[in-house]
Amino acid sequence: MKNLLEAQNLKAYYRLVGGTQIKAVDGVTLELRPNEVLGIAGESGCGKSTLAAVVSLTHNPPLNVVDGQVTANGFDLLTLPKEEARREIKGKYISVVPQGAMNALNPTTRIQSFAIDMLREHHPEMTKQEAINLARARLQELSLPERVLTSYPHELSGGMRQRTVIVLSTLLNPRVLIADEPTSALDVSSQKAVIRLLMTLLDEQIISSIAFITHELPLLRQVADRIAIMYAGKLVEVGTMEEIIFQPQHPYTRALMGSMLVPERQVRERRVEGIPGVPPDLKDPPAGCRFHPRCAQRIDWCTQEEPPSKTVGDRTIWCWLMH
């Protein structure tokens, strides 16, 4: 089957006053396949949210795409006229739940007006009542209380607001859902409820695939089919969940996995080590492999030339040690 969404050598930079550029996404090639959860993970500032913004067409200046292609549903998204993108792609083919979406609801209107706006944008002939009925039916289908439609955002808990936002953003059955840190501000019980909802959306084929962006690898172990690890604007390793979580190969992935604190015996019985140093300044990223200043296994090559990719089976890795 065809990929649902593809980024080809995507470069997206933030342009600052004075002309300096922050190379937040710098040459990323990644595909979202049908019926999968693709986890995109990395630390803050690695470019994962920027990537999400570009592929969901929600990027605005000063963030500019300087090179590369994004294709979805037969369209070249980056050259698509705005009007057409809004009609054919946004909300209909790709839906995005940005970071902190649950706090972005209008506090002065009831939740249902969000559903009405969203549905009538794509179906102008629809009456308000029809839109509300549609939203109500969907909430019932997903066993969420109908009362959320007539509630104001502050009357709902954080977890319920987040689930509501997800349900409303998928009312048009988009093929792709891009979820940026959908559970990061939630308690573990609400987090699990959000995950359960996302899995139901997939099982019911309301959506086909999810790009799940998070810094929490233990969470991806629970939900992801494949995981892409980003560092300083570039991919370092992409593979199946099992490959990345249980047999990471890139020194950065290994170090990142090693620094996870989960409540399990093996964590308590050894000293967990972090990664020395900090991620590079993306105004002026280091030459060669961007991880080399913090890498314990670097060789001469790493400081000079960017590592090419190497693919074995489902795993692709960008590291000189693998060549």
Residue with Cβ nearer another protein (7 or 255): 255
Among 256, 289, 317, 319, binds another protein (CB under 8 A): 256
The DSSP symbol for 271 reads -
Gap between the Cα atoms of 94 and 210, Å rounded: 10
Residues with Cβ within 8 Å of 61's Cβ and at least 6 positions away in sequence, in order, are 15
- Tell whether residue 15 is a contact of another protein (CB under 8 A): no
Write down the least CB distance from residue 44 to another protein, Å: 6
Tokens found for residue 59: 């990027």
Residue with Cβ nearer another protein (56 or 191): 191
Among 43, 121, 130, 306, binds another protein (CB under 8 A): 43
186, with CB counted inside 10 A (0-12, 13-18, 19+), is buried
The answer to whether the beta carbons of residues 72 and 32 sit under 8 Å apart is no
- Tell whether residue 260 is a contact of another protein (CB under 8 A): yes
The answer to whether the beta carbons of residues 207 and 215 sit under 8 Å apart is no
Write down the least CB distance from residue 120 to another protein, Å: 34
- Tell whether residue 218 is a contact of another protein (CB under 8 A): yes
Residue with Cβ nearer another protein (208 or 253): 253
Write down the least CB distance from residue 16 to another protein, Å: 15
Among 123, 128, 147, 196, binds another protein (CB under 8 A): 196
CB atoms within 10 A of CB 53: 21
- Please work out the total of residues on this chain that contact another protein, with binding judged by CB under 8 A: 37
Gap between the Cα atoms of 150 and 49, Å rounded: 32
- Tell whether residue 16 is a contact of another protein (CB under 8 A): no
Residue with Cβ nearer another protein (137 or 278): 278
Residue with Cβ nearer another protein (267 or 312): 267
- Tell whether residue 17 is a contact of another protein (CB under 8 A): no
> What pairs with residue 6 in β-bridges?
31, 71
The answer to whether the beta carbons of residues 10 and 4 sit under 8 Å apart is no
Strand order in the sheet with 21-32: 21-32, 5-15, 63-72, 75-76
Interaction site with another protein (CB under 8 A):
43-44, 187-189, 191-192, 195-196, 199, 215-219, 221-222, 245, 255-256, 259-265, 267-269, 271-276, 278
